[in-house]
Amino acid sequence: MPELPEVETVAADLRPLLIGRRLVAAHLLWPRTLAEPDLPALVAGVVGREIVHVGRRGKYLLIALDSGATLIIHLRMTGQLTVMTVAGPTPDGPHVRAWFDLEGGGRLVFTDARKFGRIWLVDRIERVVGALGPEPLDWTFTPEILAERIGGRRAAIKALLLDQAVIAGVGNIYADEALFLAGIHPLRPGARLSEEEIGRLHGAIRRVLHDSISQRGTLLRDYRPPYGAGGAYRDRLQVYQHTDEPCPRCGAAIQRIRVTQRSTHFCGRCQPLS
């Protein structure tokens, strides 16, 4: 599933292609893709509206309109957003689920092989993203805020990092990488982390996310940057999907366990449980 760096890459690619463009039609091929409202209300809400901003909140893509409404798109496992030229009555491709026609030609096309992605049109984004935790790259996200989010929690720190109500945008890849960088075992209870460990983890989270954004995310089977080269952070992954390979620090074999039903990768020597 695309995480914060991948969604940020998509948003950055779409900004110059969409800001200032006006939407002239909306089409839906897979009804469940549209979470809210119904199709007639979606059409009424977007037709004639200008796109004024493209941003992100956690793993959600936000396309703000001049009416004050916002298109919110969650890519889930396999969603992709691209701007295509008009070459026929419908966009090419076997997995097109929805698209929006743009004034002057072109289409914003949503493809989704596994059909898990969702689209909302809302007047207030809090209706969809209001329960998300703080943005880990925001200047207001301090070690003290992280301590507040995980303090007193008995759950494994890996599970807490995956909880979008604790921190927005961190998923399986960057949780594993941040915990390795911080030297913290993924099964350590959040409440047992010291102030010094929380400080290390805070810095590690921000570092891996910034580094991945600079490489346009991590290229995986279900994620490709929409335009140009990218996804090069895959070559910088230290532990994620490196089961049984030598740890880049100490040479011990990278281990894999399951935490909240998610594959979790770590070095038992560099990230001791006790």
Catalytic position from the list 3, 6, 8, 177: 3
Query: With 90 as the cut, is the pLDDT of residue 53 above it?
Result: yes
- Residue 136 in this model has a pLDDT that exceeds 70: yes
Per annotation, catalytic residue among 49, 56, 57, 59? 59
**pLDDT at residue 224, rounded to an integer:** 63
Find the range with the poorest average confidence among 26-30, 153-157, 174-178, 215-219: 215-219
Q: Which of 15, 21, 224, 262 is catalytic?
A: 262
Q: What is the pLDDT of residue 222?
A: 62
CATH number of 4-129: 3.20.190.10
pLDDT for residue 228 is more than 80: no
The one catalytic residue among 2, 5, 91, 134: 2
Mean per-residue pLDDT over the chain, rounded: 95
pLDDT tier for residue 91 given thresholds of 50, 70 and 90: confident
In this prediction, residue 19 has a pLDDT band, given cuts at 50, 70 and 90, of very high
Q: Is 3 a catalytic site residue? A: yes
**pLDDT-derived band of residue 92, with 50, 70 and 90 as boundaries?**
confident
Q: What are all long-range contacts of 81-86, with beta carbons under 8 Å and residues at least 24 apart?
A: 81/10, 81/14, 81/108, 81/109, 81/110, 81/226, 82/108, 82/109, 82/111, 82/226, 82/227, 83/14, 83/17, 83/18, 83/107, 83/108, 83/109, 84/109
The stretch 124-146 carries a mean pLDDT of: 98
Domain ranges for the chain, please list them: 4-129, 143-266
pLDDT at residue 87, rounded to an integer: 60
Q: Is residue 262 annotated as part of the catalytic site, yes or no?
A: yes
- Catalytic residue status for 2: yes
CATH of domain 143-266: 1.10.8.50
